[in-house]
Amino acid sequence: MRFIDLLRTAFLNLWRRKLRAVLTVLGMVIGTCSIVVMVSLGIGMRQAMIDSYAQMGSLTNITVMNWKYSDPAGDGMGNWEEVKLDKKAVEAIRQLPGVVAVMPQITAWGIVKSGRYVTDISIMAIDTEQAAAFDIKLESGDFPSSRSSGGTYEIVFGNGVTSYFYDPKTGKQAVDRDGNSKITIDSRFQLTFDYNNIYNYETDPSTPRGKFYKLVPSGVVSAESNEFSWYCLMDIEALEKLAKENETFMNIDTKNYNQVIVKCESTEAVKSVKAAIDEMGYGTNSLQDWIEQSEEQIQKTQYLLGAIGGVSLLVAAIGIMNTMMMSIYERTKEIGIIKVLGCRMGNIAGLFLTESAYIGLFGGAIGIGLSYGISTALNKLLVNSGLYSLIPVYLAVGAVAFSMVVALVSGFYPAIRAMRLSPLAAIRNE
C-alpha cells in the first residue's frame, strides 16, 4: 500500500463515521486548548515579570559596587567590606570578554535654589561620552560638559525635577493657581552642598559656609531612561572638581567611585561577566539576578498550569483509544479480508495509526486556533491586571506536534490489536 493510499484510506474511514470522529476530535480540541491556554498564561506571567524589570533598567547592565560581602565561615555572619574601585579597576573591567562599555559613577546630594524656592537633588556624575552606550536619553537639550567658568556648571535635570521646588520657610510648593510649576528649565539656578546656606542649622556665625555655584541646565533626562530618569546628571570631571572644593560638605573620595555600570553585549553574557567581576573581589548586582530568583517560582506555576491543562489532554487520549478500539470491533471482518488479500501487517498498523494521527492533527490545529481566540479575549479581560496570555510560535507548533504524538501513542495499542487478529477468525466474525 502506497503512502498516499494509506492517507486516503485512513481519512475515508474517519469520514464514514463522521459523528464519532468529530466527537473524538472535539475531545482533542478541548485538551489541546486547555494545555495551550494554561501554558500561555505562565509564559505571559514570565514575560510580564521581565517587562516589569526592564522598566527599572537595562537587562544587560551590571552594577559594580565598592562594597563586597565577605562570609568566609559560611555561617551567614559575614561583613560588608569596602574595596577600592578606581580608574585601574575600571580599565580591568573594560577588558573583560563580553563587555561593551563601562561607566564609572559618583553620586552626591546637593540643593538647587531658584529665587526663594529650593529642592534637594541627587547628582550622578557620569562619563558623558559613554552615555549613549547606556541608553541614557534626553527629553531635551544636550549632555553637560566638563568645562566650568566663573563658578558656573552645566547639569542635566532629572525628569520632573522642576516640579519639586518649594519654599523652605512655608513649605509650599512652587506652583501657580492652576497647579503649574513656577520653575522652568529657563529659570536661574544656584547649587550648594552646604545645607546651612538654606536651613541655617548652624548658629555660630564663625562657622565657614559653603559656596553657591551658578547652575546652567543643559537638558532634561527622558522618562524612558529607566534608572537614570530621576537623577540629575553632571560630567564626572566637573563633580570631582566640586568635591575637592567642598570636602567638608560632600565627603566624597574622588579617587574611589561609588559604583561602576557595566554594559554587556547581551543578556546571555551578563552571567559570565558578573562572575568574572565577582572573582575580582567586587560586589555586583543586576536585574538578571532578580529575574532568576523570580523565575524559579514562575516555573513552578507554569508546571502547575500545564498539569491542569494536561488532565484534559489525558481524557482526550483515552477517548482516542476508545474510538480506535471500537473501530477494530466494528471492522473485524474488513481487517480479516485485507489480511487474506495479502495486506502486510505494517500497513494494517499504519492504517490505524494514521487515523489516530489525523485526529491529533485536526484536534491540535483547531485547538490552537481556538486558543488564540481565548488568549485574545483573556488579554482584554486582564488588561489592567498586569498579566496576559502569550502564545509564541514555538508553543503553537509544539502543541500540534504534541497532540499528534499523544494521538499516535493512544492508537498504538489498538493498532497492535488489529495486527494480531486472526484472519480466519476475523472473517467468521459476525
Write down the residue that cell numbers 542635566 correspond to: 156
Give yes or no for residue 426 having a pLDDT over 60: no
| pLDDT digits 0-9 by tens, 34-87 | 888 888 888 888 887 777 766 666 778 888 888 776 666 666 566 777 788 888
On the 0-12 / 13-18 / 19+ scale of CB atoms within 10 A, 108 is: buried
Average pLDDT over residues 366-372: 92
Q: What digits encode the pLDDT tens for the residues 72-119?
A: 666 656 677 778 888 888 899 999 999 988 888 888 889 999 999 999
Give the separation between CA 18 and CA 26, rounded to whole angstroms: 12
Provide the pLDDT confidence category of residue 135 given band limits of 50, 70 and 90: confident
pLDDT reported for residue 69: 65
pLDDT over threshold 90, residue 366: yes
Least confident of 139-143, 155-159, 381-385: 381-385
The predicted structure's pLDDT at residue 111 = 92
Pairing of strands 79-82, 67-70: antiparallel
Return the C-alpha cell found at 141.
537639550
pTM: 0.61
- pLDDT score of 353 more than 80: yes
β-partners of residue 268 are: none
- Do 336 and 426 contact (CB within 8 A), yes or no? yes
Phi-psi region of 397 (alpha: psi -120 to 50; beta: other; left: phi over 0): alpha
Q: How far apart are CA 210 and CA 322, in angstroms?
A: 88
Contacts of 225 (CB under 8 A, 6+ apart): 135, 136, 137, 159
In total, the chain counts a number of residues equal to: 430
Cα–Cα dist 67/281, whole Å: 9
User: Distance between CA 342 and CA 356 in Å, rounded?
Assistant: 23
CA nearest to 407, candidates 33, 27, 37: 27
Taking each helix axis from N to C end, the angle separating 345-381 and 393-419, rounded to the nearest 10 degrees, works out to 150
Upper half-sphere CA count for residue 23 (Cβ side, 13 Å): 9
Give 293 or 152, the one with higher predicted confidence: 152
DSSP β-ladder status, 283-285 and 61-65: antiparallel
Residue-wise pLDDT for 192-236, tens only, equals 998 888 877 665 666 678 889 999 998 888 877 666 777 888 888
Could you tell me the pLDDT band of residue 418, with boundaries at 50, 70 and 90? confident
